[in-house]
Amino acid sequence: MKKDFSEFKSYIKDKKTAVVGIGISNRPLIKYLVKLGAEVWAFDKKSRTEIGDTAEELEGLGVKLVVGEKYLESLHGYQVIFKTPSMRIDSPVFLKARQEGTYITSEMEEFVKYCPAKIIGVTGSDGKTTTTTLIYNILKEEGYKTWVGGNIGAPLFSNIEEIGKDDRVVLELSSFQLMTMNVSPEIAIITNLSPNHLDMHKDMNEYVNAKKNIFRFQNKCDTTIINRDNCLTDAIKNETIGKVMGFSRKQKIENGAYYKDGNLYILNKFVCTKEDIVIKGMHNVENYLAAFCATAYDASVNSMKKVATTFPGVEHRSEFIREINGVKYYNDSIASSPTRTLASISAFEKPIILIAGGYDKNIPFEPLAEEGYTMIKKIILLGNTANKIENVFSKVIKEKNIKLPIFKVSSLKEAVEVARKESTAGDIVTLSPSCASFDMFANFEVRGNKFKEIISSIK
């Protein structure tokens, strides 16, 4: 049962409240808390100069700023703390605050708790953003006023009073956002599970348990949608509280969506053929099947088919950039795990020239080499993980007695230069890093945009 937002408004008024992080996503939250009458302190590791004009803007609203390298030393004595998802709840500063009786929460927790509309939450190791966007588009096509948020779109908590009970909300939720959640959306989707973010999580078990919070607090009327082809997600069907729907590209699913003989079905109704879908690859077939399950009781088959046959895909996801001298270049910067890269490169009909490497999330690269070597013509490596990826590929090359040239470079620009030199007409070059971007770029969007800029500037 959803809580009435008036409860939160009464609770937060005059509370001494800290918001950790003054990034773009938290600024609307800070302003909204001020509007609701909270006494707000905003914390950030950046200096006042780095924060820029936002510092003066927030201070003009009465917000007190605590910034700089030692910003967390002052995080005590608050009644409420809104933490940023990337900070672990078991860090000493939060443990101490909790002992002091502080209520520690996040924007997403409060949003799910009080949002009056039906929420569809999407999580998983790969395919979250595409699945979330597909659901959003199908519901919009059906005529719903639809909101999208979480890891994509705009922060929604500051808009909560504009959202009606008959609207629909679609959220992409990461393991970091879910880790401390004690409330679940009415419809929960887990696209798949594989090793990811092991630089932030203690182990794979903690990562999977965080993901399970998307359905752990549901009631019997709610629905969990799982990938029946993934062993980790398939096992979840025995742990759910509400109803279960499944999707599969390998078996017929009566209560769900499936792929058979080149066709996609939902609840045994034909929706479209694989060839009808604009965005290619079997991983995208899975994303569509998940989206069909999520909208099965809210949208018509016609709305599903319309989106399937017109949606061009999401930026940075196997995004075609341009063709130069017969060589096609693709931007798949979102691929921050080996499984995601494997899914992307398998969509091409021939071996490709792969640009990979980046920030080390402590994920094993053996699957990329052992399963992907037949799909890769040449590989260009950069970033912190270049040596690790080279080692696993070298092992496979030796074991299989194959030829697979490996090049190591120091920048994305150099990677493109090598790709141009080593490619011939008819080749495909794709940036699909298998790693996060943080060693060289702020995020995958910045990395992808830089790659597109380099490719676009070639004369």
pLDDT of res. 198: 57
Q: What is the pLDDT of residues 319-359, one digit of tens each?
A: 889 999 999 999 999 899 898 899 889 888 799 999 999 99
Q: What is the pLDDT of residues 234-260, one digit of tens each?
A: 999 889 999 999 999 999 999 999 999
> H-type helices in 75-114, by residue range?
92-99, 107-114
Query: Which range among 203-207, 225-229, 402-406, 422-426 shows the weakest confidence by mean pLDDT?
Result: 203-207
Q: CATH 3.90.190.20 in the chain, residues?
A: 319-456
Q: CATH 3.40.50.720 in the chain, residues?
A: 5-105
pLDDT above 90 coverage of the chain, percent = 75
Q: What is the pLDDT of residues 77-94, one digit of tens each?
A: 999 999 987 788 888 999
Query: Is the per-residue pLDDT at 174 higher than 60?
Result: yes
Q: Is 273 left (phi over 0), alpha (psi -120 to 50) or beta?
A: beta
Query: Is the per-residue pLDDT at 119 higher than 60?
Result: yes
pLDDT of res. 199: 62
Domain 319-456, CATH number (from 3.90.190.20, 3.30.110.40, 3.20.20.30, 1.10.150.20): 3.90.190.20
Please state the CATH superfamily assignment of the domain spanning residues 109-310 in this structure: Mur-like, catalytic domain (3.40.1190.10)
pLDDT of res. 200: 67
Q: What is the pLDDT of residues 266-292, one digit of tens each?
A: 999 999 999 999 887 888 899 999 999
From residue 137, how far is each of 99, 129, 291, 304 by CA, in Å?
44, 12, 10, 9
Phi then psi dihedrals of residue 448, to 5 deg: -65, -40
Query: Is the per-residue pLDDT at 379 higher than 90?
Result: yes
- As a whole number, mean pLDDT of residues 288-297 equals 98
Fold of 5-105: Rossmann fold (3.40.50)
This model's pTM is above 0.85: no
Taking residue 387's Cβ as centre, other Cβ atoms within 10 Å add up to 11
